C-alpha cells in the first residue's frame, strides 16, 4: 500500500478530527481491495473506483463520528447498523472504534457472505452479522430496545426508517440516519411516526466532506419513550404504509 493512494481518506478524516495510523490505513486498503474484487463477481456496490470507495463509502461512514460519542463506542456501546449492504457505515466505524459491539443487519445473502468473509479477514472481534429484516428483528426480545445506537444509510425515507430503527433502540439511546439534501423535508414528514415510536428529533447536523459537492446530513433521534408493542409491523408494511 502506498500512503498517497489513501490521501483522499487521510485528508478527509483529518477534517473530521481523525488521524489514521498505518495499521488503520492498511485495514481500509484491504477493505477497499476486497470490495472491488468481490464486486467483479457480485453486485455489492455501484461505486467501484478507488476515490469513490474512499470518500463515498469510508469517509462518509466516518462522518457519523461527528454525532456518535467516540469514547462511548470505544467503551463497548452496543450498535446496530440496519441495511448495512457492504458494511456501511458500521464496519468503518468498527475499524476506528474496535471496542464497540456491532451488529450488522442485511437482507441480501451475497452481502452477508461478503461481510462475514471481510470480518474474518480483518480479524475484527465483537461483530455479529445477521441475515434478516428490521421488522422481524425489532420484535425479537434479544434485540428489541437493546441497542445504544441504531444506524442506517440509504435504506428508506424517514417515516419508514423510523419504524425500522426506533424499536431496536433502548430508552435513553438514539438512532442516527445518514441523509442527503432532502433531510429536513423527510424529518418533517416523519414527525408523527417518530413521536408514535417513542422518538424525539435532537438535531439535523450538516456534513461537508472533502471531494463531495453535496451537503450530507446526520439525523439524530433520541429514544425518549418505549415503542408500543404493535411496532414494528410485519415485513413490508412500514414501506407500503408509512406511519
Q: Report yes or no on 101 lying in a domain.
A: yes
Q: Report yes or no on 23 lying in a domain.
A: no
Please give the pLDDT value at position 1. Answer: 58
User: Residue 160 has which C-alpha cell?
Assistant: 419508514
Q: Report yes or no on 6 lying in a domain.
A: no
User: Residue 226 has which C-alpha cell?
Assistant: 418505549
Please give the pLDDT value at position 136. Answer: 97
User: Residue 201 has which C-alpha cell?
Assistant: 428529533
Please give the pLDDT value at position 49. Answer: 86
Please give the pLDDT value at position 10. Answer: 94
Q: Report yes or no on 210 lying in a domain.
A: yes
Please give the pLDDT value at position 144. Answer: 98
Q: Report yes or no on 14 lying in a domain.
A: no
Number of domains in the chain: 1
Please give the pLDDT value at position 3. Answer: 56
Residue 26 near residue 5 (C-beta atoms within 8 A): no
d(CA 132, CA 140) in angstroms, rounded, equals 12
Q: Report yes or no on 174 lying in a domain.
A: yes
List, in order, residues 6 or more apart from 145 with CB less than 8 Å away: 167, 168, 169, 170, 171, 223, 226, 227
Q: Report yes or no on 44 lying in a domain.
A: no
Q: Report yes or no on 27 lying in a domain.
A: no
CATH code for position 189 = 3.40.50.150
Q: How do residues 103-126 score in pLDDT, each as one tens digit?
A: 999 999 999 999 999 999 999 999
Question: Is 0.85 topped by the overall pTM?
Answer: yes
Instruction: Give pLDDT < 70 ranges for the chain.
Output: 1-4
Task: For residue 11, report the phi and psi dihedrals to the nearest 5 degrees.
Answer: -65, -45
Domain extent at residue 158: 69-240
Amino acid at each position: 500500500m502506498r500512503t498517497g493512494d489513501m490521501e483522499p481518506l487521510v485528508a478527509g478524516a483529518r477534517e473530521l478530527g481523525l488521524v489514521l495510523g498505518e495499521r488503520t490505513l492498511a485495514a481500509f486498503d484491504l477493505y477497499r481491495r476486497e470490495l472491488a474484487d468481490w464486486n467483479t463477481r457480485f453486485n455489492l456496490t455501484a461505486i467501484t473506483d478507488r476515490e469513490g470507495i474512499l470518500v463515498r463509502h469510508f469517509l462518509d461512514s466516518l462522518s457519523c463520528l461527528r454525532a456518535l460519542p467516540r469514547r462511548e463506542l470505544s467503551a463497548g456501546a452496543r450498535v446496530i447498523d440496519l441495511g448495512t449492504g457492504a458494511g456501511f457505515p458500521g464496519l468503518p466505524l468498527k475499524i476506528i472504534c474496535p471496542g464497540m459491539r456491532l451488529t450488522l443487519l442485511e437482507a441480501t445473502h451475497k452481502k452477508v457472505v461478503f461481510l462475514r468473509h471481510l470480518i474474518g479477514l480483518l480479524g475484527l472481534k465483537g461483530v455479529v452479522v445477521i441475515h434478516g429484516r428490521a421488522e422481524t428483528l425489532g420484535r425479537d426480545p434479544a434485540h428489541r430496545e437493546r441497542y445504544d445506537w441504531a444506524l442506517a444509510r440509504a435504506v428508506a425515507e424517514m417515516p419508514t426508517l423510523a419504524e425500522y430503527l426506533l424499536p431496536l433502540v433502548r430508552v435513553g439511546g438514539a438512532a442516527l440516519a445518514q441523509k442527503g439534501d432532502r433531510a429536513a423535508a423527510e424529518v418533517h414528514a416523519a414527525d408523527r411516526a417518530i413521536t408514535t415510536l417513542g422518538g424525539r428529533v435532537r438535531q439535523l447536523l450538516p456534513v461537508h466532506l472533502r471531494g463531495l459537492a453535496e451537503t450530507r446530513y446526520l439525523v439524530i433521534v433520541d429514544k425518549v419513550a418505549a415503542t408500543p408493542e404493535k411496532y414494528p409491523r410485519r415485513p413490508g408494511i412500514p414501506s407500503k404504509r408509512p406511519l
